[in-house]
Structure 1
Amino acid sequence: MEKKDFLEALKKLKENSKKRNFSQAVDIVINLREIDIKREDRKIDHFVNLPFERGKKIKACALVDKQLLKNAQENCDLAILNEEFPRFGKKEIKKIANDHNFFIAQANIMTEVAKYFGKVLGPRGKMPNPKAGCVVPGTADLKPVVQRLQKTARLITKNEASVKALVGFENGKDEEIAENCLFIYNSIIDDLPEGKNNIKSVILKFTMGKPYEIGKGFRHESTTVEKTGS
């Protein structure tokens, strides 16, 4: 699969999209075959740094102690001091979780982070993750961390043998969206035991539009994810 395949798909999506009063998100869905995601060694779960930002600001919340507080306040959308953790109730933490894409934590207070935030952030997949560079020392500069997160996407198989990711928005540059798509596609192939042979289909979709399968065209059904083992 090449960049031109994604450019053609984007062209078709735009030609067949109704005019909306907002810019629709563009998602890529990669359906897998002959992959048993119940096996731990077959699950996909990693972070990639895309070539281009996707057109939506990624919000980061920092959970830190006094050593990193000033830096966090200057560079993150929200900074919470560890001394204040006990005053946050579950409802408030849920709101914070819904409002932020990534959580950055200072390594030496991870035990406190898990104690007070783990029950909410864990099930949402938003616990500070070292794979994403979100667990940092107290001496860290968070500016480059937050800048990198603007291009960071998580590629993960959940309950189905498929990976879905935001690659851009309808009003974005097609070239950049296509580059993001190709980067994700190649990253997934590198994770699969048989590479391209484990790819069943690759689909692009606008928020409100029909799915477009690369190489085949528009799907009549609205679903993009195929059942495991199909």
Structure 2
Amino acid sequence: MKVDDNLLKQSLNAAIDFSVRKKEGFKDRVRKFDETIDLIINIKDVNLNDPKNRIDKEIILTNEIVEEEKLNICVIASGEILLEAKKAGVETLDRDALIKLNNEEKKHKKKFAKKYEFFIVEDKMMRDVARYLARFLGPLGKMPKPFPTGYGIISSPGDLRTAVERYKKVIRIQMKKQPIIFAKIGKKSMEIDRLFDNMKTVIDFIADQMPHKFNNFKSMYLKSSMGKPIKVTEEFLKSLEV
């Protein structure tokens, strides 16, 4: 299933349009928060019992999807990297705080793991992070990964600055137990061309992970956080009179 760019862009416009709640006889209601735009791809003919067919990677989109002051990351580090992270206003955890967290009840460690979207860890602290937090971060797909599967393990203050810039564009792509992929491509407030470029980046990346490329795509949908799912087909768009 390979879809032409014009159909993709029409479907994206429809997803944004249907993020507005419309009810006959009432004024259209725009939600009071900046909704996320999601791409959903159903996959076929892939055996997920074979670990090599599963996906758990971070990718860099073409355009930023989050502003720096809204980055939801935690840096676990020491020394100069820790100081650089604090200077940048990023939330941090040093070795003593990590050990203290490990002595907390399980519910506190679960809460900590859920609090942040991404974790950036100094390489020499990865052993401690794996020892204390792997069982909480792992199931959420949040264990920092080295390049090329991720960008969360660093070794210098310069690496930290690069990682922070990258994570404005990074999303996590996962397909483990079910043949379906959910990917955030941006925010409703973004320009349509920037959303489209991000969507193309995700689609091409996923196709490259498949044994038969686009032939493993069963169907695609686009939707805003609270909006109606838009199936990426000409027939569906015609039914909406788009």
**How does the TM-score come out when normalised to structure 1?**
0.87
Preserved CA contact (<8 Å) 2:58 2:173: yes
Alignment partner, residue 53 of structure 1 = 64
Q: Which moved more, 1:140-149 or 1:186-195?
A: 140-149
Query: Which sections of structure 1, spanning at least 5 residues, go unmatched?
Result: 221-230
CA drift of 1:138 comes to 4.3
Which of 33, 43, 60 is 1:22 aligned to?
A: 33
Residue 24 of structure 2 corresponds to none
CA gap of 1:141–1:14, structure 2 versus 1, over 3 A, is closer
Correspondence for 1:225 = none
Deviations 1:187-228 (A, max 9, x none): 11111111111111111011122211111426x9xxxxxxxx
Preserved contact between residue 60 and residue 103 of structure 1 (Cα < 8 Å): yes
Amino acid at match of 1:6: L
Aligned match of 2:122: 106
Contact 1:2 1:182 in 2 (8 A): no
Q: Hey, which bits of structure 1, 4+ residues long, moved more than 6 A?
A: none
Q: What count of residue pairs does the alignment treat as equivalent? A: 219
Unaligned runs of 5+ in 2: 22-29
- Alpha-carbon offset, residue 140 of structure 1: 4.2
Alignment partners' CA distance in 2, 1:154 and 1:102: 9
Aligned match of 2:236: 217
Offset at 1:11? 1.9
- Trace 1:185-224 onto structure 2 (pairs within 5 A): 185-215=203-233, 216-217=235-236
Name the structure 1 match of 2:109: 93
CA separation in 1, counterparts of 2:133 and 2:213?
38
Q: Secondary structure at the match of 1:156?
A: strand
RMSD: 2.0
Distance apart, 1:114 and its partner CA = 1.5
Cα deviation, residue 93, structure 1: 3.2
In 2 relative to 1, CA 55–128 (structure 1 residues): closer, same or farther, beyond 3 Å? closer
Shift of 1:83: 2.4
Bigger mean CA deviation after superposition, 79-88 or 11-20: 11-20
Q: Normalising to structure 2: TM-score of the pair? A: 0.83
Q: Which amino acid aligns with 1:95?
A: K
> How big is each residue's C-alpha offset from its partner over 1:88-108, in whole Å with a ceiling of 9 and x where there is no partner?
124443333222111111111
**Percent identity between the two aligned chains:** 26
Partner of 2:27: none
Match of 1:226 in 2: none
